[in-house]
Chain A
Amino acid sequence: DADVTQTPRNRITKTGKRIMLECSQTKGHDRMYWYRQDPGLGLRLIYYSFDVKDINKGEISDGYSVSRQAQAKFSLSLESAIPNQTALYFCATSNPGQGANGYTFGSGTRLTVV
């Protein structure tokens, strides 16, 4: 099993629908992140969480919300999806105690909003 698992892998949804992307990890890391990848823009940070009670907005949080249900689970929600949220979404974890070795990425969720 992968260390960081994202579900679903692919999703097509309609404008205005609520959708949740899920991320679970077996790394035991405290820190978790959601990134969005758009062609020509690289990856941009949406939200990050240092632990279950510590959630913070990233660079592009508008239109998104998150929930850290447990140390191992970090979900991203689009309350009312719009077409410009069509993108590839990555979840990541890190453990600062491991220094630069600590980042682990999931395989990504490709979301299309029509």
Chain B
Amino acid sequence: AQSVTQLGSHVSVSEGALVLLRCNYSSSVPPYLFWYVQYPNQGLQLLLKYTTGATLVKGINGFEAEFKKSETSFHLTKPSAHMSDAAEYFCAVSDFSGGGADGLTFGKGTHLIIQP
């Protein structure tokens, strides 16, 4: 069974500061990892994903994440926060094994607050 843990239900940073949202996962097979963003009253938008290959993944809006197998982590970062980054962020894992429910398993989400 897969699981995702997002550390911190709420994270507050100042505008222009580094954004770091933490995600740890467990999976019995090599995982596919995702970060999604949800702006207020909107659906889910894919920020970035890791499948295979390069462990540092770049996404939209200046975000990136690094897959660290030894730490079972996939933390999301952005060098300089912008007010428009205020949203809910979800980390998710999938094994795409096809043998069972290969739907995404989501973390509980982290609400990012940007202080002016």
Contact = CB atoms under 8 A, between A and B. Distances in A.
A107 B32 CA distance: 23
B51 A48 contact: no
A10 to B, nearest CB: 10
A103 interface: yes
B96 A48 contact: no
Contact of B103 (A40, A58, A99, A101): A58
Given A42-B109, A96-B96, A107 B42 contact: yes
Given A96-B98, A100-B49, A44 B43 contact: no
Interface residues of B, number: 26
Interface residues of A, number: 24
Given A100-B34, A100-B51, A106-B43, A40 B108 contact: yes
Q: Which of B98, B103, B104, B105 has the largest count of A CB atoms less than 10 A from its CB?
A: B103
Contact of B43 (A40, A48, A107): A107
Contacts, number: 59
Nearest to B110: A42
A9 B48 CA distance: 26
Interface string B100-115: 0111111111000000
B109 A48 contact: no
A74 interface: no
A59 to B, nearest CB: 8
Interface of A: 31, 33, 35, 40-45, 48, 56, 58, 90, 92, 94, 96, 99-101, 103, 105-108
Given A92-B103, A94-B103, A99-B51, 16 more contacts: A33-B103, A35-B106, A42-B4, A42-B108, A43-B106, A45-B103, A48-B103, A90-B43, A100-B34, A100-B50, A100-B94, A103-B34, A103-B94, A105-B44, A107-B43, A108-B43
Interface of B: 4, 6, 9, 32, 34, 42-44, 46, 49-51, 90, 92, 94, 96, 98, 101-109
